[in-house]
Every structure is written in C-alpha cells, then in structure tokens.
Amino acid sequence: MYRCPIYDIRIIAMLRKLKTIFLLPLSAMLLFSACSSNSGAAKITGKETDASSKDDKNKATETIGHKSEHSARVSIAGTDFVVNGRTLWINGVNTPWQKWNDFTGNMDEEFWDNEFARLAGDNINCTRIWLNCNGEGIIRLDNEGNITGINEKHWDNLDRIFKLAEKHKIYVMPTFLSFDHFKEPKSSAGKWQALISDKAKADKYAEKYVKEFCTRYADEEYIFAIDIMNEPDWVYENEECGRIGWEQLSYFFGKCAAVIHENSDILVTVGIGIIKYNSDEYEGNKVSDEYLRKLTDDSKAYLDFYSTHYYNWQKPWFGFPWDKSPYEFGLKDKKPCIIGETHNDDGAEINMTLTDKYKSVYENGWNGIMVWMQFTDSDYVWYRYDLTQLATNAMAELIPEKIHPYD
C-alpha cells in the first residue's frame, strides 16, 4: 500500500527550522500537493498492474465490434466470437415466433420471460427471433414500395424483448426480413418486391428502419447480431417471390450492413438458405465483402460472419457439413461461420443424434449451431425441445467456458 510522505524526516526537520508563520501554510500546501500527486500515481499504476495480470490468451488482438472492458457485447477476433476477449461458442436455437408476427404490439411478455428462463436453464446462450415474419403490421409501404411509416408499438415490444434477453443473459439474433415478405398471393408481396428491386427505395428502408433500430438499440449488449434476411435464396429462385436478381438483393444487404456498421457495433449477417449462394465453389458468394462493396461503393458494406442454413435434402448436391470444417464445406473467407438453421429431429435420417451433431460442429471448427424449433400450441413447448436440451446441456459440460464466457 502506498504511504503519503508527510512524515519524511527531512521535511519534518525543515519545518522545525522555519520560524515564520508566513511559510507554514506554504509548506503545508506543498506537502498536501505531493501526497495527492503520488496517490494519483499509485492509482494509475494499480490499473496498469491489473491489466497486465490478465491472461494474455483471453485478449482479442484485433476485434470487430464493441471493445468496452466489461461489456457483454459480442465482438470478433480473427475467426472467433469473443466476449471481453474470451471465446464464445454459439450454443443456439431458433425460437422464431410464438404467434406469427409477435412484435406488432401483441407481444406476450410473460411467455417470452418464461421461455428465456427455460433456454437459460438448458445452457442455450443464443436464440434467433424473427422481428417481422411476412411484412404485415410493422412497416407501412405504399403501393410502389416506398416506406411511409413504422408501427410505434413495434418499438415498445422490442424494448421489452431485449430487456428480457439481458435479464436472462440470452443473446438474440433478430431477423429483419424473410422470403415470406415477398411471397404471393399475400397482398403486400408486390410492395416488398418493388422495394428491394429499387435502390432508392432500399436506401430509404435502410435509413428509416435499419438506422432507427441501431439508434435505439446500439447499447443493448445482448443483441448478438442482426440477420438482415432469412433465406433470400427463395426470393431469387421462386416465381411466387418475384425471382429478383442477386444484384438487387445483395445491394440491399450491403446497404443495410453499411448503415448498421455506421451506427452501431452490432454484428451483421444474412441467413443464406443454400451453401451454393454463399460459396465461390458453386454459383459465387453473393454476400462476399467484395461483391457487397462493389454494388454499394461503400467500404462498410460487409458481413461480419456467415450464417448458412442446412437441411438434409441438400446433401446430394452440396455435401454433408457435419463432418467438415467451414472451409471444407465451401466457406473460404476468413470469418466466423455458424449453421444458423437446421433440423433438430433428423437423427434417424442422418444416423447422428442431435447431440452428436452439436459436438461434431464444434470439433470441426464451426463457431456455433442454431437448430430450428417452432412453438407447438398443442404441447406448449418448442418442437422436439427434448432433443435440443440434451444437446445444449451436453455442450455446456464439454466447453462450459465457451458457452458462458461472460460469467
């Protein structure tokens, strides 16, 4: 412990020699100043000592995202997700909705509070939730696809869902749009097709909705990442969704990503449905940094990580990811990679339990997995949650420090 030098014998001797009252206050002031100055130096030294004593292997040398020392915000270091320099592995699920379009002012707060508690109890650290399932009830568009307003009750619902996430320490990956927005014969499908096909209208969406979201929630540390769209592959491939070209789709992703990076530290991805659109080994990576920046002419137009979806029907064409690294599966860029959506009940079909699937993904270098679960009203539980909880609890036993690095 540092001791103030008031009792230094040399100073005491000097004071005894001083006979004038005039000099005594001056000496006292000098002594007090010395004590205060040295105390300040001791505090600075203490901080440096604390910082230097931290385990170097838990430090992120180059991070993307929030860098606050005691933040729960997820950042990226190399090809890892990190929280305060500690590796995070996404032991995740999809809980996309309770009721279709939950966040139009009709959110059931008690339901989500209970479900987040259930997820946390089974060591699930992240869930993907659709903020708007098909474009109805939140963002108002005119007949030409121009955004004209936003339902204010939507923001109130999001305020509450993110506070519940913080309460239970569950990361949320909010999904903004889905191919369902563009799917006919829904009455608003044509409006969404018009919006995403026109750069000016896409820019307005990014400015009015995406920027507003970031402004409101930039400090919500349990937002893991923004998923700009669920499976745009079907908007490109399916006539009922408009068969909109990748140039238009990817411009939209790039514009939204740039706005997010400009206005927050929140990570960004797109939930690609088929690996062939996320890899140069097939039809070209439609969400690569190079492609998004080329289309938007914006250096901030990039995804922080890849979230590819996989269902076993894809195997004959694109292989089997459970025994491959992301690189071997076709994701060649140096980014974190997760399987953002997959079956939780196809064990008999692929000859692997869900627990085996989670462990295999981890052992092969993926940064996480998020199985698909829909809420079943008849059972009042997520579909085959029994299988999911076995897998997520097994991972917490295997790598507890990576499931809960913020503890």
- Residue 123, φ and ψ in degrees, nearest 5: 65, 25
Of 13, 28, 52, the domain-final residue: 52
pLDDT at 392: 98
Whether 272 contacts 278, CB under 8 Å: yes
Pairing status of strand 86-88 against strand 80-83: antiparallel
154 shares its domain with 26: no
Range of the domain at 274: 58-403
Please, which pLDDT band fits residue 381 given cuts at 50, 70 and 90?
confident
pLDDT score of 340 more than 70: yes
Same domain, 85 and 109: yes
Same domain, 147 and 33: no
Are the C-beta atoms of residues 394 and 356 closer than 8 Å to each other?
A: no
Backbone Cα Rg of the chain: 27
Alpha-carbon gap, residue 352 to 261, rounded angstroms? 39
Same domain assignment for residues 112 and 37 = no
Between 122 and 25, the higher pLDDT residue? 122
CA 319 – CA 45 distance, rounded (Å): 56
* E strand or H helix at 382: strand 381-382
The pLDDT score that the predictor gives to residue 69 is: 55
Rounded to whole angstroms, the Cα distance separating 386 from 373 reads 11
Query: Domain tally for the chain?
Result: 2
pLDDT digit string, tens, across residues 220-271: 999 999 999 999 999 999 999 999 999 999 999 999 999 999 999 999 999 9
Q: Are 91 and 395 in contact (CB under 8 A)?
A: yes
**Would the pLDDT of 303 be above 80?**
yes
Q: Looking at residue 407, what is its pLDDT?
A: 75
Q: How far apart are CA 405 and CA 84, in angstroms?
A: 8
Cβ(77)–Cβ(337) under 8 Å? no
Q: What is the CATH number of the domain that holds 334?
A: 3.20.20.80
Give the helix ranges, DSSP H, for 169-229: 189-197, 199-205, 211-217
